[in-house]
Structure 1
Amino acid sequence: MRSMLLTVALVATALTGVYANDFENALNILVSNNLESKAAIKRGVSEVETMRAENVLPGPEAEFSRVWGTNAEAGNKLGVSVSQGFDWPGLYAARKRAADTAESALEFLRASSMLDTRRDARVLLIDYIHNQQLICHQSRYAARLDSMESYYKRAAEEGLETRIDYNKTVIERIGVHRELHQLERDRDALLVRLQAFNGGAPIDEVVRLAGDEYPAIDKGKLAGTLSLIEERDPGYAAARLQTEVARQNLKVAKMSGLPGFSVGYEHESEGGERFNGFSVGISLPSWSRKHASKAAVVDAELALLDAEIMLRQRKADFEEDLVQLDYYEQSLAEYAPIVSDMAPLELLRKALVARQITLLNYMNEYNYFVQANREYLDLMYEYQLAAARLSYYE
């Protein structure tokens, strides 16, 4: 009975939420130590710097030549030249605009990566809290069966109960303890995942702050999540900017098909005479530039489609979670008076003591209420997961 009361108390706390600050602190620790989000940001910086690295003049070229005459009268000829090549002038400005836009998109991608990390950390903490509640629930049930087994063992030895009833309690106790041990193994696996998410750093403080009670849920705030997507979602903003980057890259690809130039200084020496002058060269684009332009066109179209797909998928996911949130809330309201009512369990206990029901009947009936209690915990877990996904912009 105490198990049932404890569960109702835990769920009530989850709905009123006095532990939000501790939960947020645990969340902040995980996010700050997570390595995947840091790596994603570094990759974005690398891509932008690669674009900027392409927007520089090639190194100057220096040449030295010496040719020998066929006879002594002709003499030898010595030449030195230094030249600098450059692309079509407007190409550098186009590349710079593309890199600047990509850098702006990177800022939004950083914010999006941080929100993704917070959502994943929030879900992981909720997984841990759910496991803790299940262990607490199962531990109390196991303790009750331990007590019953001890009683029936003594009673069977004194001839007050049958050996069959004692064996039934042993079998039931073994099954309950097996499930408890599985939950404990699940907890160990969750702790490993938490430490990996925490960048390998110790998670003692995270676990202490997370505790075994869910954070508060402001459903009114969650209901407005859909209206925030276009104006607050950094992933969508980044996708829109990536579309602009693709357009800028298309301009770069087209301008890359224009000729390049080179200007150089030349010095030659022949037969005691010295010559100074300059050279001008032109480089004609290859036919492969045509395919690069076509690829850039396709990239621009894909970037636009990706942005719209991302927006529609985000809206669909949030709409689904809002519907599920209502369903879970209604189901929890239906379950609450049942799992909080201890009268049926007390009647079962009295009936067993008075020998009005058999031990097997008692266990079957008691397990029915235990299972309802477990389903209640699982419903609250699903409710919290949906709320966590809807709290994406928190």
Structure 2
Amino acid sequence: MRSLLIGLFAIGLSLNLQAQSDLKEILQAVETNNLSLKAQNQYLESQRIGYKTELNLANPELSYEKNFSDVDGNPYEILISQDFDFPTVYLHKNKIKKAKTANLDNLIQQSRQDILLRAKKTCLNLIYQNKLMEQLAIRYENAQKLVSFFQKKLDKGDANILEMNKVKIVLLNVKNQVQLCNTQIINLKEELKQLNGGKTIEFNTLLYPNFSLEASFSKLEMDVLSNTPSLNKLKANMDIASKQTRLAKNQLLPKLSLGYRYLNSDINKSFNGINVGISIPLWESRNKIKYAKLNQLSQESQFLSQEKIVLSDIQKNYQNYQGLKASLDEYRLILDGNNMNELLKKALDYGQISSIEYFMESIYFYESYDTYLQVEKEYHLAVANLLKYQL
């Protein structure tokens, strides 16, 4: 087991000085290699082309008519025509096309933020597991020393088999914790690999990233609202719906048709000329304006509903962050620089405490420190949720 620990921590224990890859580099790699983002970009490119097709004119029409009458001299007629919407319709369609195309950026930004946040949280969980593994390595080494210490006492008759068994159980528990922690690290690294498009990426640091959180909650709230893609998308949808209402009104204007007609027969001379037509939209545009206005109201309601949800999430995340920060500060005040494990070992060596007291105090200290690491992780996860808009 000792050789296993050496293999696991040979790199990890030196990471306080330099990490192989910092969080920024990890997120840049994920943004470049993530397969979902690549597929999303391809889909959005197809959407951009699709929006352009909405501006296409109707197909031109070519018709040919021939009569087989001897009296009329077998006349025939050729007609080429092109239908047009009223000119202002194309103006509004072009505005809608531009708005929809611009809104695609919000869609890709929303996907990007979700994936990068997931990658960031995976890295934060990895940092937690790495820090926990570092502690478990120290505990495992101490447990081994304790087994050796009690074995010597048992050989001298200064300890009993019950005490020896307790020490062995402590060693076994730590060993199992190490194996469980190692499994968690392997799983998290596999998740990070999957987010990175199947490419292996190393992240073994023990250091949480630095961050800058807006001191004013109202300023933070404004920053989050203005940089939340889901809200920006709905805001753009409201603008698009408004433009679609104006388009529906313009589609009540007549459609135009312009063409060329050629007529010829064996008896009469040939005739040609321009063909102009007009289409009155009596039935085709029925209820279109009503539908467009209702859609506009629906988009406004969706935006207001989502805005309230985002505001509520900001409030909850900020309160969670404040509570965790207070707890973390209290733990750091007590635990930082407090080498409790060494003090307990010295007290045991000098006979100041009994083995039972040592076990109880060690378990209490380990549980407290594990809780501290857990609170520290949750604190940084809360910060990640608050600062998602910066990704």
TM-score using structure 1 length: 0.80
Aligned counterparts, 1:231-380, within 5 A: 231-233=226-228, 235-273=230-268, 274-285=270-281, 287=283, 289-340=285-336, 341-343=338-340, 346-347=343-344, 350-351=347-348, 354=351, 357-359=354-356, 361-380=357-376
The alpha-carbon deviation at position 244 of structure 1 amounts to 0.9
**Aligned with 2:22: secondary structure?**
helix
Provide the rounded CA distance (Å) in 1 between the counterparts of 2:267 and 2:136: 103
Amino acid aligned to 2:134: C
Q: Which amino acid in 2 is paired with 1:217?
A: F
Residues in 2 aligned to 1:345 and 1:337: alpha-carbon distance in whole angstroms: 19
Structure 2 vs 1, CA of residues 358 and 268 (structure 1 numbering), >3 Å: closer, same or farther?
A: same
Is the alpha carbon distance of 1:185 and 1:90 closer, same or farther for their aligned partners in structure 2, counting shifts above 3 Å? same
1:43-77 residue CA offsets vs partner (Å, 9 max, x unmatched): 444434323211121121112333433xx555534
Distance, in Å, in 1 between the alignment partners of 2:344 and 2:151 is: 23
Structure 1: unaligned runs, 5 residues or longer: 1-9
Q: Which is worse superposed, 292-301 or 381-390?
A: 292-301
CA shift for structure 1 position 283 = 4.0
**Of 108-117 and 255-264, the range deviating more from structure 2:** 108-117
Distance 1:325 1:74, change over 3 A: closer
- For residues 66-123 of structure 1, the C-alpha deviation after alignment (integer angstroms, 9 at most, x for no partner) is 3433xx5555343322111112222111111111222333345555554444433322
- Decide which moves more: 190-199 or 298-307: 298-307
Amino acid at match of 1:342: N
Are the aligned partners of 2:72 and 2:267 in contact in 1 as well (CA < 8 Å)? no
Partners of 1:132 and 1:187 within 8 A in 2: yes
Q: Could you tell me how far 1:266 is from its partner in structure 2?
A: 2.1
Work out whether residues 222 and 390 of structure 1, in 8 Å CA contact, stay in contact via their aligned partners in 2: no
Moved more, 141-150 or 242-251: 141-150
Counterpart of 1:329 in structure 2: which amino acid? K
Indicate if the aligned counterparts of 1:87 and 1:261 stay in contact, CA closer than 8 A.
Answer: yes
- In angstroms, what is the RMSD of aligned CA positions? 3.4
Aligned residues: 373
Q: Tell me which of 203, 208, 214 is aligned to 1:214.
A: 208
Report the TM-score, using the length of structure 2 for normalisation: 0.81
2:118 corresponding residue in structure 1:
120
Cα 1:303–1:227 shift into 2, 3 Å: same
Q: Do the aligned residues in 2 keep the contact of 1:263 with 1:281 (CA within 8 Å)?
A: yes
- Higher RCO (C-alpha under 8 Å, 6+ residues apart): 1
Q: Is the 8 A contact 2:214 2:220 kept in 1?
A: no
Q: Which residue in the other structure is 1:4 paired with?
A: none
Aligned residue for 1:76, secondary structure, equals coil
**Residue from 190, 193, 198 that aligns with 2:191:** 193
CA distance in 1: counterparts of 2:198 and 2:307, whole angstroms: 34
Q: 2:211, 2:72 → 1: CA distance?
A: 96
CA contact 1:130–1:212 (8 Å) conserved in 2:
yes
Q: Distance in 2 between matches of 1:167 and 1:41?
A: 61
Contact 2:341 2:362 survives alignment (8 Å): no
The separation in 2 between residues aligned to 1:29 and 1:264, in whole angstroms, is 58
The answer to whether structure 1 residue 106 and structure 2 residue 101 are counterparts is no
